[in-house]
């Protein structure tokens, strides 16, 4: 008998590491067969139906609380909030009202949740984001009512590889790295929610894996978070050896202490991306030489009114103080709009906000907004004495860069712009005539080069910074920096990918800025490659036909 070989699946690798374990499939929906079998009209009266709802809600809330007990920090907060929302009295009241009008319990639950969804959506901002949680709660309540296990990630009893179409925020927040050996998702890209949480928890992760949901639950999987491969039914001895070799390599990474340099001693600044004082204080303990991206807008996502210059100075000062010990901070001015709505800045009702008035463009008809922010940054810099560089997001023309640099220079600070729009990369040499430095935002540069929404979960193969066209634009920008003798850094997620980081350095990138969790893996990988090897890796990546070939070629050279 001829047996077909066990298939190997491929996707976009987003968190390095090798893991071996049984597949555990995450179902996103309650099965329609169970819903069809269920008779939501069989209760004696509306009170009996409401009592069944109460029992189901309590079970759902208890599940969230159990997960919260096993989580910490932001993850625990998300789960506790979900438990509260499930038990919300207003939601119960809405279901009760619909039960008086409808006889079917499932229809009443759906109508009650829908009513809440409309209210939350109307409130916008963070409340609108909780709509995903409401739908998640509805699915879990329905599962309890019809007698199925809750959809989404259950609490695994034994270590496993989670395989899902995509993961809900509440699922990813509750993941326990001791039980979840690796994450494999059919959808999602390098900047997806799943990827960001997996990176934070250091769980090996491959996203955008076509056909992943055809894998049978319980099947043995060997996941390689560098190669982006998922081998089914591997030889257990070989798989175990790969996992232990990876564990040894990973513990070597953990002991990397900086400063950033290639194996032959060419210095490369390793910097942190931060959002506020708290994240800056935490990042300041990592072996970084400063902050390469302070996303100021993240401090204002829940603010209705623009903070005063004094209050802004206080907020920025917290970050600058955390790096006041001879290190430096690159502050980015407000990148409001599109995926980061800020009530007092964002333009409402745009047809296509990613291509609309976002980032620096908000200052075109509201220059005071930028001027007040720059005044706040300058005051914080003066107060703390920390070396402060300032850069603008979403710059498309040299004239924009020049006008911005004039304002920043007038305050005695270093001025730069982000390269996120292909026009800025193509004109990098002219941008560098008017600014002191460039910082490449590969998340947006990839989105705009490939015309693929960075949040789209089904375009992972396009929203990939290893795409040759994106690499070409980065190389043009880095070369312009070399010619001008000015720093050109990368602060998008690409800098957090250890192999890609070596490629970027080989192109001439002088600093890499990333989430603190990525600092050691990136710094340690760079320390293993000489500048010549980085240059060879850059050449190999640039001449590859697609991201898969580029990764394979670079891995063959560097790993």
Q: Give the binding range for ligand PEP (CB under 6 A) out of 109-117, 260-268, 437-445, 538-546.
A: 437-445
Is 335 near ligand PEP (CB under 6 A)?
yes
Interaction partner, residue 295 (ligand PEP, Mg ion, none; CB < 5-8 Å by kind):
ligand PEP
**Which of helix, strand or coil describes residue 338?**
coil
Contact status: 491 vs ligand PEP (CB under 6 A): yes
* Residue 189 makes contact with ligand PEP by CB under 6 A: no
The whole-angstrom separation of Cα 222 and Cα 240 is: 9
Interface contacts to Mg ion, rule CB under 5 A:
420, 441, 444
Structural tokens at position 214: 């055809």
Place of tokens 């964002």: 346
Please, which of residues 49-68 interact with ligand PEP by CB under 6 A? none
Can you tell me the distance from the alpha carbon of 372 to that of 383, in angstroms, rounded to the nearest whole number? 16
Q: Strand pairing of 220-224 and 229-232?
A: antiparallel
| Binding partner of 491, given ligand PEP, Mg ion, none, CB within 5-8 angstroms per partner class | ligand PEP
Q: How far apart are CA 422 and CA 468, in angstroms?
A: 13
Q: Which of 193, 205, 502, 534 is catalytic?
A: 193
Which residue from 441, 506, 508, 521 is in contact with ligand PEP, where contact means CB under 6 A?
A: 441
Residue 150 near ligand PEP by CB under 6 A:
no
Dihedral sign, Cα of residue 112, residue 117, residue 120, residue 122: negative
The option from ligand PEP, Mg ion, none interacting with 501 (CB < 5 to 8 A, set by class) reads none
Using CB distances below 5 to 8 A depending on partner kind, what does residue 284 bind out of ligand PEP, Mg ion, none? Answer: none
* Residue 420 binding ligand PEP, by CB under 6 A: yes
Geometric angle at alpha carbon 492, from 488 and 498, rounded to 5°: 90
Q: For the chain, what is the radius of gyration of the CA atoms?
A: 25
The interface partner of residue 379, options being Mg ion, ligand PEP, none and the CB cut-off 5 to 8 Å by kind, is none
C-beta of 86 vs 268, nearer to ligand PEP: 268
Map 503-515 to HEC letters: HHHHHCCCEEEEC
Q: Name the minimum Å distance from CB 454 to Mg ion.
A: 8
- Is 193 labeled as catalytic in the residue annotation? yes
Candidate list 205, 491, 502, 534, residue with the active-site label: 491
Stretch that binds ligand PEP, among 20-28, 143-151, 364-372, 439-447 (CB under 6 A): 439-447
- Least gap, CB of 513 to ligand PEP (angstroms): 8
Total residues contacting ligand PEP (rule CB under 6 A)?
Answer: 10
Sheet holding 160-164, edge to edge: 8-10, 229-232, 220-224, 18-26, 160-164, 180-185, 205-207, 12-15
In angstroms, what is the minimal distance from the CB of 521 to ligand PEP?
19
Residue 442 as a binder of ligand PEP (CB under 6 A): the answer is: yes
Instruction: Tell how far CA 233 is from the center of its chain.
Output: 31
Non-local CB neighbours of 463 within 8 Å, separated by 6+ positions:
189, 190, 191, 446, 447, 450, 452, 453, 454, 456
Secondary structure of residue 192 in the 3-state scheme: coil
β-strand pairing of 205-207 with 12-15: antiparallel
Assigned token pair, 52: 């069944």
Write down the least CB distance from residue 442 to ligand PEP, Å.
Answer: 5
400 contact, one of Mg ion, ligand PEP, none, CB 5-8 Å limit per kind: none
Q: Cβ-closest residue to Mg ion? A: 444
- Going by C-beta distance under 8 Å and a sequence separation of 6 or more, which residues neighbour residue 403? none
DSSP-assigned states of every residue in 55-73: HHHHHHHHHHHHHHHH--H
Q: Does 492 bind ligand PEP (CB under 6 A)?
A: yes
Task: Give least dist CB 66 to ligand PEP, A.
Answer: 33
Cis peptide before 225 (omega within 30 of 0): no
Q: Which is nearer to ligand PEP, 306 or 444 (CB)?
A: 444
Nearest distance in Å: CB 335, ligand PEP: 6
Of 284-303, binders to ligand PEP (CB under 6 A) are 293, 295
320 binds ligand PEP (CB under 6 A): no
Minimal CA–CA distance to 474: which of 422, 551, 416, 546? 422
174's CB contacts (< 8 A; 6+ apart) are: 67, 68, 70, 71, 75, 79, 153
Instruction: Say whether 491 is catalytic.
Output: yes
**Quick one: what does residue 414 bind among Mg ion, ligand PEP, none, with the CB cut-off 5 to 8 Å set by partner type?**
none
At 361, list the tokens. 């463009």
Contact criterion met (CB below 8 Å) for 328 and 290: yes
Nearer Cβ to Mg ion, position 400 or 444?
Answer: 444
Q: Which of 104, 136, 246, 444 binds ligand PEP (CB under 6 A)?
A: 444
Binding segment for ligand PEP (CB under 6 A), chosen from 8-16, 204-212, 248-256, 440-448, is: 440-448
| Residue 442 partner contact from Mg ion, ligand PEP, none using kind-dependent CB cut-offs of 5 to 8 Å | ligand PEP
Q: Rule CB under 6 A: which residues touch ligand PEP?
A: 293, 295, 335, 420, 441-444, 491-492
Q: Active-site positions?
A: 193, 491
């Amino acid at each position: 008998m001829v047996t077909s070989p066990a298939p190997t699946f491929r996707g976009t690798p987003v968190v390095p590491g090798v893991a071996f374990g049984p597949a555990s499939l995450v179902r996103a929906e309650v099965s329609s067969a169970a819903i069809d079998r269920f008779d939501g009209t069989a209760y004696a009266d509306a009170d009996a139906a409401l009592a069944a709802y109460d029992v189901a809600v309590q079970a759902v809330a208890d599940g969230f609380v159990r997960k919260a007990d096993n989580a910490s920090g932001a993850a625990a907060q998300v789960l506790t909030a979900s438990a509260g929302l499930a038990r919300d009295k207003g939601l119960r009241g809405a279901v009760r009202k619909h039960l008086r009008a409808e006889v079917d319990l499932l229809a009443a639950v759906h109508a009650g949740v829908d009513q809440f969804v409309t209210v939350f959506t109307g409130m916008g901002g963070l409340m609108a984001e909780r709509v995903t949680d409401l739908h998640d709660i509805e699915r879990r309540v329905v599962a309890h009512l019809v007698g199925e296990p809750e959809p989404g990630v259950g609490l695994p009893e034994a270590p496993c590889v989670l395989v899902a179409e995509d993961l809900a925020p509440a699922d990813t927040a509750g993941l326990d790295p001791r039980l979840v050996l690796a994450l494999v998702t059919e959808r999602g890209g390098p900047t997806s929610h799943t990827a960001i949480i997996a990176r934070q928890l250091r769980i090996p992760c491959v996203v955008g894996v076509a056909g992943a949901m055809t894998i049978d639950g319980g099947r043995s999987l060997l996941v390689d978070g560098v190669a982006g491969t998922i081998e089914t039914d591997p030889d257990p001895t070989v798989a175990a050896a790969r996992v232990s070799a990876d564990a040894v390599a990973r513990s070597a990474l953990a002991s990397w202490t900086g400063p950033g340099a290639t194996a032959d001693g060419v210095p490369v600044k390793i910097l942190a991306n931060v959002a506020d004082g708290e994240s800056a204080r935490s990042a300041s303990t990592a072996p970084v030489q400063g902050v390469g991206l302070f996303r100021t807008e993240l401090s204002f996502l829940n603010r209705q009114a623009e903070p005063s210059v004094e209050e802004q100075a206080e907020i920025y000062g917290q970050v600058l103080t955390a790096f006041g010990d001879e290190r430096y901070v690159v502050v980015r001015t407000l990148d409001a709009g599109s995926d980061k709505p800020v009530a007092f800045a964002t333009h409402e009702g745009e047809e296509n906000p990613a291509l609309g008035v976002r980032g620096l463009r908000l200052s075109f008809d509201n220059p005071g907004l930028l001027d007040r922010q720059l005044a706040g940054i300058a005051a914080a810099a003066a107060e703390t004495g920390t070396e402060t560089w300032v850069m603008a997001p979403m710059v498309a023309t040299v004239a924009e860069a020049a006008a911005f640099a004039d304002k920043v220079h007038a305050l005695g600070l270093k001025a730069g712009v982000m390269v996120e729009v292909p026009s800025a990369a193509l004109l990098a040499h002219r941008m560098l005539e008017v600014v002191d430095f460039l910082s490449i935002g590969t998340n947006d540069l990839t989105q705009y080069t490939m015309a693929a929404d960075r949040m789209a979960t089904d375009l992972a193969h396009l929203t990939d910074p290893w795409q040759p066209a994106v690499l070409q634009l980065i190389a043009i920008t880095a070369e312009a920096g070399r010619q001008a003798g000015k720093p050109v850094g990368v602060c998008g997620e690409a800098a957090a990918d250890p192999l890609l980081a070596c490629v970027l350095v080989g192109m001439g990138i002088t600093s890499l800025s990333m989430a603190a969790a990525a600092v050691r893996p990136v710094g340690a990988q760079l320390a293993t490659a000489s500048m010549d090897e980085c240059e060879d890796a850059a050449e190999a990546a640039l001449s590859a036909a697609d991201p898969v070939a580029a990764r394979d070629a670079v891995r063959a050279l560097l790993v």
